[in-house]
A and B are shown apart, each in its own frame.
Chain A
Amino acid sequence: MSAYLDSFGFHVPERVVSNAELAQRVGCTAEWIESVSGIRERRWAAQETSVVDLAESAARDCLARANVDPSTVGLLIVASGSAPPGFPAPTAELAHRLGLNLTPAIDLPMASAGSIFGLVLASQLTDTYGNILVVAAEKMSAIIEAHPMEQNTAVLFGDGAGAAIVSTSGIRKLLKTAIHTDGQFRADLAYDWKSALQMNGLSVILQASRKLPTVISEVLAAAEIPASQIATVLVHQANQNLLVRVGKALQVAPEKIYSNVARYGNTSSASLLIAAAEWSRQNPPPGPVVFAGFGAGLHWGALVAE
Chain B
Amino acid sequence: MPDSIHDRVLKTLKTVTTQPLPTDTDESLFESGLLDSFALPDLVTALEQEFQIKVPDSDLNPRKFDSISRIESYIAAKG
Q: Which residues of A contact B41 (CB under 8 A)?
A: 205-206, 209-210, 245
> Could you tell me the distance between the alpha carbons of A184 and B58 in the complex, rounded to whole angstroms?
8
Q: Is the CB of B58 within 8 A of A206?
A: no
- Minimum C-beta distance from A108 to chain B (A): 23
Return the chain B residue nearest A209 by Cβ: B41
Q: Which residues of B contact A203 (CB under 8 A)?
A: 60-62
Complex partner residue of B30 from A184, A202, A209, A210, CB under 8 angstroms = A202
> Could you tell me the distance between the alpha carbons of A207 and B41 in the complex, rounded to whole angstroms?
8
Q: Is the CB of A211 within 8 A of B57?
A: yes
> Could you tell me the distance between the alpha carbons of A241 and B44 in the complex, rounded to whole angstroms?
17
A201 adjacent to chain B (CB < 8 Å): yes
Q: Which of B11-41 contact A (CB under 8 A)?
A: 30, 37-38, 40-41
Q: Which residues of A contact B57 (CB under 8 A)?
A: 182, 207, 210-211
Q: Mark A80-103, 1 if CB is under 8 A from B, else 0.
A: 000000000000000000000000
Q: Which residues of A contact B60 (CB under 8 A)?
A: 185, 203, 206-207, 210
> Could you tell me the distance between the alpha carbons of A210 and B62 in the complex, rounded to whole angstroms?
13
Return the chain A residue nearest B58 by Cβ: A184
Complex partner residue of B37 from A182, A185, A202, A211, CB under 8 angstroms = A202
A280 adjacent to chain B (CB < 8 Å): no
Q: Which residues of A contact B40 (CB under 8 A)?
A: 202, 205-206
A200 adjacent to chain B (CB < 8 Å): yes
Q: Is the CB of A241 within 8 A of B38?
A: yes
Q: Which residues of B contact A209 (CB under 8 A)?
A: 38, 41
- Minimum C-beta distance from A259 to chain B (A): 16
Q: Is the CB of A200 within 8 A of B58?
A: no
Return the chain B residue nearest A244 by Cβ: B38
Tally of A-B Cβ pairs under 8 angstroms: 36
State the interface size on chain B (CB cutoff 8 A): 11
Q: Which residues of B contact A242 (CB under 8 A)?
A: 38
Q: Summarize A's interface: helix, strand, loop or mixed.
A: helix
Q: Which residues of A contact B61 (CB under 8 A)?
A: 203
Return the chain B residue nearest A298 by Cβ: B57
Q: Is the CB of A202 within 8 A of B62?
A: yes
Q: Which of A211-259 contact B (CB under 8 A)?
A: 211, 241-242, 245
- Minimum C-beta distance from B30 to chain A (A): 6
Q: Mark A179-209, 1 if CB is under 8 A from B, else 0.
A: 0001011000000000000001111111101
Q: Is the CB of A205 within 8 A of B58?
A: no
- Minimum C-beta distance from A21 to chain B (A): 24
Q: Mark B41-79, 1 if CB is under 8 A from A, else 0.
A: 100100000000000011011100000000000000000
> Could you tell me the distance between the alpha carbons of A201 and B39 in the complex, rounded to whole angstroms?
12
- Minimum C-beta distance from A257 to chain B (A): 15
Q: Which residues of B contact A206 (CB under 8 A)?
A: 37, 40-41, 44, 60, 62
Residues of B with Cβ closer than 8 Å to A?
Answer: 30, 37-38, 40-41, 44, 57-58, 60-62
Q: A207-B60, A241-B38 given. 10 additional CB < 8 A pairs? A: A184-B58, A185-B60, A202-B62, A205-B38, A205-B40, A206-B40, A206-B41, A206-B60, A209-B38, A211-B57
What are 10 A-B pairs with beta-carbon distances under 8 A?
A182-B57, A203-B60, A203-B61, A205-B41, A206-B37, A206-B44, A211-B57, A242-B38, A245-B38, A245-B41
